[in-house]
Copies of this chain bind each other. A is one copy, B any other.
Amino acid sequence: MRKTSLDRLNSAKKAEFVSELGAIYEHAPWVTEAVSDLRPFATVAALHEAMTAAVRKAPREQRLALINGHPDLAGKAARAGTLTADSTAEQASAGLNRLSEQEFSDFHRLNDAYRKKFGLPFIVCVRRHSKDSILRQFRLRLENDPEAEEDAALREIFRITALRRDQYVEAPDRLKVNGRVSTHVLDTCNGIPALGVKIDLLELSENGDRRTITTAQTNDDGRTEAPLIGGQPVPIGRYELHFHVADYFRRLGLPLADPPFLGVVPVQFSVADPEGHYHVPLLASPWSYSTYRGS
């Protein structure tokens, strides 16, 4: 899909409207068709609402077909490279394209168990998750009864399509589908924002893996130019910030112990709400620091 504007979608011919927007619902252009005559939409929220409603009131067989149109997570299609472009990118975002053999077989086993119990593929909006939290969702949702699970699958589809819509449709409004991780470093010794502090953001996995997601530098307001994570959901998972404070204080000429008492300050936190704003500041001196969920 390419980026397009709501205006253009509102004024396009029906065929064009469906062709432009069709891929939002994986293998289900009928959802787009169903709302074509409801145009124009004033906001992308109204468009999203209409498509969601169209799915809700479709016959159950059609809804099940929609669910069944989705690929397995880390499944054969993924390994064979036959996923849609969107699905490929989404699965990669949660690291499902970097699984170990053990993890592949875990996914395989859970996919099978899920299909066996519900007769459906397991659907989750992977952009909101890390590998660990997908596996946890898998286990939790295997406990559901079939009715609850059909509903859960639809809600995940609505999340997936909201994100695709946010990505592809330019509109005056924004859907509340993105979260943020940001920080702010204060030098409590000098009462100033700490300038030039190197910060790494790592994603931690339960198997002990530690992957650096991004590295940034604080500006003269003690903040990074851009959020450490922004413009996307923050995957549910565990993170660690590394603040290189000794380098900062050394540059200022403060006398430090050798090695310095605080070298790199690790701050570990978990994200439970992918659409939340996780502002995690650091107030630091060479011998002490505080951190907290800020706003």
Using CB atoms and an 8 Å cutoff, list the residues of chain A in contact with chain B.
184, 186, 188-193, 221-222, 236, 238, 240, 257-266, 268-273, 283, 285-295
User: Judging by beta carbons under 8 Å apart, are B238 and A259 in contact?
Assistant: yes
Given A268-B266, A273-B257, CB of A288 within 8 Å of CB of B295: no
User: Judging by beta carbons under 8 Å apart, are B290 and A191 in contact?
Assistant: no
**Chain B residues closer than 8 Å to A259, beta-carbon distance:** 236, 238, 270-272
**Chain B residues closer than 8 Å to A188, beta-carbon distance:** 188-189, 285, 287-288, 292
How many chain copies does the complex carry? 4
**Chain B residues closer than 8 Å to A265, beta-carbon distance:** 268
**Chain B residues closer than 8 Å to A266, beta-carbon distance:** 240, 266, 268
**Chain B residues closer than 8 Å to A192, beta-carbon distance:** 293, 295
Q: A190 to B261, alpha carbons, bound, how many Å?
A: 11
Chain B: minimal CB distance from A277 (Å): 10
Q: A3 to B257, alpha carbons, bound, how many Å?
A: 36
User: Judging by beta carbons under 8 Å apart, are A290 and B288 in contact?
Assistant: yes
Q: Could you show 14 A-B contacts with beta carbons less than 8 Å apart?
A: A186-B295, A188-B292, A189-B189, A189-B286, A191-B261, A191-B286, A191-B287, A192-B293, A192-B295, A257-B273, A262-B270, A283-B288, A283-B290, A288-B290
- Interchain CB contact (< 8 A) of A260 among B260, B270, B292: B270
User: Judging by beta carbons under 8 Å apart, are B268 and A272 in contact?
Assistant: no
Given A286-B191, A290-B290, CB of A269 within 8 Å of CB of B273: no
**Chain B residues closer than 8 Å to A272, beta-carbon distance:** 257-261
User: Judging by beta carbons under 8 Å apart, are A293 and B287 in contact?
Assistant: yes
Q: A294 to B281, alpha carbons, bound, how many Å?
A: 11
- Interchain CB contact (< 8 A) of A269 among B222, B262, B292: B262
Given contacts A190-B287, A191-B285, A289-B291, 5 further A-B contacts (CB under 8 A): A238-B259, A257-B270, A283-B290, A283-B292, A285-B285
4 closest cross-chain pairs (CB), A and B: A191-B287, A288-B292, A257-B272, A259-B270
